[in-house]
Structure formats: C-alpha cells, structure tokens
C-alpha cells in the first residue's frame, strides 16, 4: 500500500471494519477450537489406551501456540497481519483434518500432530487482539482489543455443546461419532480463513505503517541497524521500555495463576465430593459422581464467562482509568479469588465464586496488560514485542498447568491458591511502587 492510498482511506471506517472482521473470525475459529477441546482428552485416552495421556492434546496445543507466537509475529511484521493470521488459521484447519484422520486410523501420533497444528490457530487467535489496535486511537485501544477478545465467548460457549450434533454429523459422513466435532472445527476455521483473507483489506498493520510514512514524508519507517532474529529484536525492545516489562509481568503472572488454579479445580471438586459428604453405597456414589460432574461443568462455564463475557467492560475501564490501575484491579481480583477458593476450599460455593473472580481478574489484567504492551514500544517494534508477549503467556500457561498438579499433591488445593495469592500480591506491589504511570497518548 502506498502513502497516497493510505491518506485516501478513512482510518475510522477502516478500523471499524477491521474490528468487525476480526471479531467474526474469532467467533468462527472459537467455535472450532471449543469443539476440539471438548473431546480432545477423550480422544487421547481412546487412541493411546491410557488415562495418563488424557491431558496430552491440551498440553501439545498450548506448547505449540507458545512456540508459534514469534514466527507468526515475524511473518506479520514482514507481510502484514492478514498473512500472519490466515497462515495460523489454515494450519489449524489442517490440524483438525489430521485429528479426523487420527480417529479413523487410530494413530495416536497423528492426533498429537493435529493438536500441534491446532495450536497455531490458537496463536493466531491470540494475535488477532493486537491487530485490533494497529489503527485504533490511543484512547480507544483497550475497547477495540476487548471487543475482539469478547468475540471468543460465543465460540467458547457453543463449542462444547456441539458434541452431540457433531456425533450425528460424523456418523452421517461415515466417520466415528467422536470425530464429528472436528468436522465443525474444520468448517469454522476454513470460514475464518476466508473471512480474514477477503475482509481484512486494507491490512491494518500495513495501512498504519503507510499512514505513518505519509505523515512523516518518508518512504520507509524501518529502524536501521543489523538484522537480528525476531525474538532477539523483540527482547531488545522490551529491555529498552520499562513499561513493556511491567506489562509482560502483569500478563504472564495473570495467565500462570489462572491456568494453575483452573486446571486443578475439577480434580479438587471431585475429591471434595468423595470426602465426608460422599456416600459409601454404590447407588449413592453414582448419584454423587453425576452431581459433581454437573457442578464441575457449571463452575468452569462460569469461569469462562468471567474470562470473556465482560471483556468490553474491562476494555472501557482500561481506556477510562488507565492500564496501570486496571492491571492492579485485575490482580487484586486474582488475589481475592485465590483467597476465596483457597480459604473456602471445603465449600463448593466458595470455590465457584473464586473461579468467577479468577476469570474476571484474568480478563482485566490481560486486556489492560496487552493494551500496555501495544502502547509501550514504538510502532516499528510493536509486532515483535506482541509476539514475545504471546510466547511468554503461552509458556506461563504450560508451566502453570504442568506444575499445578505437583504443587497440589505437595501442599494441597489451599496451598496452590496461596501460591497464586503470593504471585498476584507481588504484581500489585510492583505496580504500586513503580514510578511508571500511564501515558494517555502512548507511542502512537
């Protein structure tokens, strides 16, 4: 895109169209991802023949998303957001197809390969929130980012409910019933890719770059200097910006706390049901098991609603009061959530309340932290720093999920929540004592 073309387009209209396209694509790909995650553990057990591999699909998907964050960010930096997002979503579509092939062939390795490619779609979905702020005005960055995050809600809610319809569709196509949800995944990801390919024009990142060139009257805004790897350049930009470092601390800590506590809550609720309240009779044991299954589903659904449903409110709060106060508010909620779930671990109502607060805290800290990342570095480094943010966020989730079981077996569910309390309290203390405050205009 030339500078003359950029100046001829209305940036407000382009921004509204960009947010709409990104939100619709998130909805479609979210339905696909939700359907996949809902049966991933079942497939892993079925194809591996062991319960020990139940979490393998989620783990591989999370790790792949973290590893893919920087390559996708580098691709976006060179070719634009559209190419980067479409590439990730198409890889996810291929992954869903491989999972279907795995259910037909019975090959566990093929399932893991498909899960890894689905992780690339997850990485693309994460980077879509940053694409929403490429053209956003500084005072509306939080709102634009939050709208795209909010679009995930519909997919997260609808996805798990596609298991039964998916089984019908799968059997009608001559596939195993459990492969049906991945048919929806394939269709949703394919539609999202087409929507991004056609609708994300002009490319928000390239358009913003062309607008800066037109405003500066230069042909190229690239930063001179030696060409280094994307990760090294992203880390160098973070080291030069204390605000970016604080933003990454907020996002990474919030994600680690959220994943660690959330992943162990279903097990805690199950163990709680098997405690003094559980009946020793076979008939009552079956009833209790059914009740706790419903309770777990209800609790996690409320937690997911807390993560995404109020995203626009968190975006408005970020724009209204600033990123730093909203980050402090988010981690204060995480601290309160861990106290509620940990100190009240013996009551299911306290655990459920804690999980809702945990989702709300994650939402506030992630949206405000991501907005702070976007505005803390120059536009020339922004994409790579955002890639580093997603990479570290994914790695924190993987570490939090992996070690949460060990921590819980060592010091229990209460102890796990106390660790989350300590992490959230540390972030709040750092933010309160830091001399860094909000810059209402950011860096452009």
Q: Over the stretch 242-300, which tens digit does the pLDDT of each residue have?
A: 899 999 999 999 999 998 898 888 878 878 877 644 433 334 434 445 576 667 767 87
- The full set of domain ranges for the chain reads 3-216, 235-433
User: Which candidate, 227, 308, 299, places its Cα nearest to that of 268?
Assistant: 299
Residues 147 and 108: beta-carbon distance below 8 Å: no
Statement: residue 4 has pLDDT above 80:
no
> According to the model, what pLDDT value does residue 225 have?
40
Helix then strand then coil, % of the chain, to nearest 5 = 85, 0, 15
- DSSP-derived secondary structure for 22-52: HHHHHHHHHHHHHHHHHHHHHHHHHHHS-GG
Burial class (CB in 10 A: 0-12, 13-18, 19+), 276: exposed
CB 324 within 8 Å of CB 437: yes
Q: Taking the complete model, does pTM exceed 0.85, yes or no?
A: no
Q: Mind listing the pLDDT tens digit for each residue in 380-428?
A: 888 888 889 889 998 888 888 778 888 888 899 999 999 999 999 999 9
| Highest-pLDDT range among 72-81, 219-228, 259-268, 373-382 | 72-81
Widest pairwise Cα distance in the chain: 80
What fold, for 3-216? Answer: Growth Hormone; Chain: A; (1.20.1250)
Superfamily of 235-433 according to CATH: MFS general substrate transporter like domains (1.20.1250.20)
Alpha-carbon distance of 97 to 152, in angstroms, equals 22
- Tens digit of each residue's pLDDT (9 = 90 or more) over 108-161: 999 999 999 998 998 998 888 888 888 888 888 888 888 888 887 766 666 656
Look at 184-188, 191-195, 267-271 and tell me which has the smallest mean pLDDT.
267-271
Nearest to 187, CA basis, from 92, 61, 84, 68: 92
Q: 3-216 and 235-433: same fold? A: yes
219-226 CB contacts, 8 Å cutoff, 24+ apart: 221/379, 221/380, 222/380, 223/378, 223/380, 223/381
Q: How far is CA 352 from CA 202, 205, 236, 261, 262, in A?
A: 44, 41, 41, 12, 11
pLDDT confidence of residue 45: 78
Average pLDDT of the residues of the chain: 83
Task: For residue 176, give the nearest of 103, 102, 99, 98 by alpha carbon.
Answer: 103
Q: What is the mean pLDDT of residues 22-39?
A: 75
Query: Is the model's pLDDT at 349 over the cut of 80?
Result: yes
| Backbone phi and psi for residue 256, each to the nearest 5 degrees, phi listed first | -65, -45
């Amino acid at each position: 895109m030339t500078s003359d073309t950029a100046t001829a387009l209305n940036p407000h209209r382009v921004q509204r169209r960009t947010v709409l396209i990104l939100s619709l694509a998130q909805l479609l790909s979210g339905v696909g991802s939700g359907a996949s995650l809902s049966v991933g553990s079942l497939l892993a057990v079925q194809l591996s023949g062991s319960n020990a591999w139940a979490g393998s699909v989620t783990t591989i998907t999370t790790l792949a998303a973290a590893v893919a964050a920087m390559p996708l960010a580098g691709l976006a930096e060179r070719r634009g957001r559209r190419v980067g997002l479409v590439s990730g979503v198409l890889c996810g579509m291929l992954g869903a197809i491989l999972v279907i092939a795995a259910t037909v062939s019975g090959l566990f390795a093929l399932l893991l390969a498909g899960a890894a490619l689905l992780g690339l779609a997850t990485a693309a979905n994460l980077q879509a929130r940053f694409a929403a702020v490429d053209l956003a005005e500084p005072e509306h960055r939080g709102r634009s980012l939050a709208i795209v995050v909010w679009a995930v809600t519909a997919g997260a809610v609808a996805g798990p409910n596609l298991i039964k319809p998916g089984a019908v569709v799968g059997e009608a196509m001559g596939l195993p019933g459990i492969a049906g949800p991945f048919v929806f995944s394939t269709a949703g990801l394919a539609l999202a890719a087409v929507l991004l390919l056609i609708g994300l024009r002009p490319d928000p990142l390239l358009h913003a770059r062309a607008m800066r060139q037109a405003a500066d009257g230069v042909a190229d805004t690239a930063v001179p200097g030696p060409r280094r790897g994307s990760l090294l350049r992203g880390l160098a930009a973070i080291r030069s910006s204390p605000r970016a470092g604080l933003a990454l601390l907020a996002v990474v800590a919030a994600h680690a706390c959220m994943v660690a506590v959330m992943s162990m809550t279903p097990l805690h609720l199950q163990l709680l049901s098997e405690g003094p309240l559980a009946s020793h009779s076979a008939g009552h044991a079956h009833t209790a098991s059914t009740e706790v299954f419903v309770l777990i589903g209800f609790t996690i659904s409320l937690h997911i609603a807390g993560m995404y449903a109020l995203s626009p409110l968190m975006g408005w709060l970020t724009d209204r009061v600033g990123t730093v106060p909203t980050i402090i508010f988010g981690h204060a909620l995480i601290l309160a959530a861990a106290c509620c779930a940990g100190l009240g671990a013996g009551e299911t109502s306290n655990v459920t309340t804690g999980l809702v607060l945990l989702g709300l805290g994650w939402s506030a800290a992630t949206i405000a932290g991501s907005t702070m990342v976007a505005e803390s570095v120059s536009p020339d480094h922004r994409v790579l720093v955002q890639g580093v943010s997603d990479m570290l966020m994914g790695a924190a989730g993987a570490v939090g999920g992996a070690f949460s079981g060990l921590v819980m077996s060592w010091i229990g569910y209460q102890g796990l929540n106390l660790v989350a309390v300590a992490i959230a309290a540390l972030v709040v203390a750092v933010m309160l004592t830091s001399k860094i405050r909000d810059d209402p205009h950011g860096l452009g």
